[in-house]
Amino acid sequence: MKVGIIGSGLVGATSAYAIMMRKAASDIVLIDANEMRAVAEAQDIMHAVPFAAATDIYPGTYEDLHDARVVVISAGASQKPGETRLMLMEKNAAIMRDIITKTVAVNPDVIFLVATNPVDIITHICMHVATDLGIPKSWVIGSGTTLDTARFRSLLGRHLGVDPQHVHAYVVGEHGDSEVLCWSNVDIGGVPLDDFIAFRNIPFGQDVKNNMDDGVRNAAYKIIEGKGSTYYGVAGAIAKLVEVINRDNRAVLTVSVFHEEVEGVRNVTLSLPHLIGGQGDLGMLPMRLNVREKQLLKRSAEIIRSKIEEYENRK
């Protein structure tokens, strides 16, 4: 199956590489306003194909998306000196509107995966643009906290001495400072965390939890401080989502999608566990959260909603 990636910067190009290495698509087309960048990235990735999986990777235009099942959006403007966050949001909203309109014009049966930050707000904007063009809400999916959830599981796995793929834990809410680590329903291979650490005699005090919370919540800041940007982790998340959709794997992932209501907050786009398959978002799964986690999720939803209203009031 063909995947289109719009935006051939570090996130877009690394996503293409991760998709190829994961054998998640047969064709990958890179589209960028800077055509030379798309050409160079496609050629560079193609040179790795003989060491991985047979994948056709090439630069293209929107016309090449006519038979794509998934289109990844990783394009977006960077904030310039003197430019406010709201000004940047308006600029990126215009970019998203242009991308989705041009894509739907050649392919009305495409699922959009949004990776551009702030991903919850951008996904909310993309959903409205896409639905106005006849695309179902369930076909607009943000990468959300899939990466944050992976960070949480990797830290838990390292501390517990368990393969992270057997650690079940979720980060929900905003992909950002107000995200919520759901400690109350962590399990390892079906065994509740408290039972696992007691049986294995593993120290796990509040200090451990605090360090993990910091490691998840502030990971991006620390990576950006060290090397300027993050891209490997989100590329892995995008590749996983592409694979799940293309193969109809029906996996449970914490993606950012539109919700009519979350903890009393209406019309908000954020991350919760959803079943994802060949038809995109197949619906939210129920979560048992304790009182504190529900309060934190509500606060996260309120923060996102306030940012959406700030943007909407300027339109």
The reply to whether 266 and 158 lie within a common domain is: yes
| Separation CA 224–CA 110 (nearest Å) | 32
Burial class (CB in 10 A: 0-12, 13-18, 19+), 50: exposed
The reply to whether 165 and 305 lie within a common domain is: yes
- Coil/strand/helix, residue 47: coil
Best CA proximity match to 143, nearest among 124, 164, 120, 121:
120
| Separation CA 307–CA 293 (nearest Å) | 21
Sign of CA dihedral 42, 45, 46, 49: negative
* Residue keyed to tokens 């929900």: 172
The reply to whether 96 and 175 lie within a common domain is: no
Q: What is the pLDDT of residue 76?
A: 85
Q: CB–CB of 249/277 below 8 Å? A: yes
The reply to whether 134 and 233 lie within a common domain is: no
Q: CB–CB of 25/55 below 8 Å? A: yes
The reply to whether 211 and 262 lie within a common domain is: yes
The reply to whether 175 and 252 lie within a common domain is: yes
Mark which of 142, 162, 193 sits at the end of a domain. 142
276 backbone dihedrals φ, ψ, rounded to 5°: -120, 135
Instruction: Tell me the per-residue pLDDT of 114-162, one tens digit each, with 9 for 90 and over.
Output: 999 889 999 999 999 999 999 999 999 999 999 999 999 999 999 999 9
The reply to whether 227 and 133 lie within a common domain is: no
The reply to whether 292 and 153 lie within a common domain is: yes
* Residue keyed to tokens 């590489």: 17
Tens of pLDDT along the chain (315 residues) come to: 899 999 999 999 999 999 999 999 999 999 999 999 999 999 999 999 999 989 999 999 999 999 999 999 999 876 666 666 677 788 888 999 999 999 999 999 999 999 998 899 999 999 999 999 999 999 999 999 999 999 999 999 999 999 999 999 999 999 999 999 999 999 999 999 999 999 999 999 999 999 999 999 999 889 888 988 889 999 999 999 999 999 999 999 999 999 999 999 999 999 999 999 999 999 999 999 999 999 999 999 999 999 999 888 876
The reply to whether 72 and 158 lie within a common domain is: no
Mark which of 142, 161, 195 sits at the end of a domain. 142
At 160, list the tokens: 């517990």
Q: What is the pLDDT of residue 213?
A: 96
Here the CATH number for the domain that contains residue 46 is 3.40.50.720
Residue 199 belongs to domain spanning: 146-312
Tally of helices (H runs) and strands (E runs) in the chain: 10, 14
Count the Cβ atoms, other than its own, within 10 Å of residue 250: 12
The reply to whether 105 and 206 lie within a common domain is: no
Here the CATH number for the domain that contains residue 238 is 3.90.110.10
Total number of domains in the chain: 2
Residues in contact with 278: Cβ distance below 8 Å, sequence separation at least 6, in sequence order: 245, 246, 247, 248
Instruction: Give me the active site residues, please.
Output: 175
